[in-house]
């Protein structure tokens, strides 16, 4: 049962990576109204990050785990991802009002989010 829950948790993390990849490519793929796509990407990211956090919490409860380095690291990374995404949307809206190009600004934040998620996942899988 726990192995299956871990499998679902990892599947949601992979879907979150796909959402981040779509967020990365959106400014270059969409040539018109960025604002709708940015809001949609933000809500998709928030929804899937919420699912990842919730499934991780369920696993934490099912396993009866205590706070270990792995659990603390996952919690910190989730918190950092939330901060980065909110900062990305705020920065993009500021740049949007100034008339600047938002593609590179958005890419910096999303690449940092992807790096954090992939590095944490690889470290957690490798340390098992």
pLDDT for residue 6: 86
How high is the pLDDT of residue 62? 87
pLDDT of residue 80: 95
Q: What pLDDT score does 52 carry?
A: 93
| Average pLDDT of span 41-66 | 89
72-79: long-range pairs with CB below 8 Å, 24+: 73/120, 73/123, 73/124, 74/120, 74/124, 77/116, 77/117, 77/120, 78/49, 78/52, 78/53
Q: Mean of the per-residue pLDDT values for the chain?
A: 86
CA atoms of 22 and 37, how far apart (whole Å): 10
Instruction: Reply yes or no on whether the pLDDT at 65 is more than 80.
Output: no
* Count of domains for the chain: 1
pLDDT in tens, 77-128: 999 999 999 998 888 888 776 666 777 888 899 999 999 999 998 998 888 7
């Amino acid at each position: 049962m726990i192995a299956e829950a871990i499998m679902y948790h990892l599947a949601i993390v992979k879907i979150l990576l796909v959402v981040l990849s779509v967020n990365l490519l959106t400014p270059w793929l969409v040539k018109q109204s960025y604002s709708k796509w940015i809001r949609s990407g933000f809500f998709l990211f928030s929804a899937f990050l919420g699912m990842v956090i919730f499934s991780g919490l369920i696993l934490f409860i099912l396993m009866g785990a205590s706070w270990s380095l792995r659990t603390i690291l996952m919690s910190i990374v989730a918190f950092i991802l939330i901060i980065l995404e909110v900062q990305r949307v705020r920065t993009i809206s500021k740049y949007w009002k100034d008339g600047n190009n938002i593609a590179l600004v958005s890419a910096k934040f999303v690449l940092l989010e992807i790096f954090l998620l992939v590095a944490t996942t690889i470290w957690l899988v490798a340390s098992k």
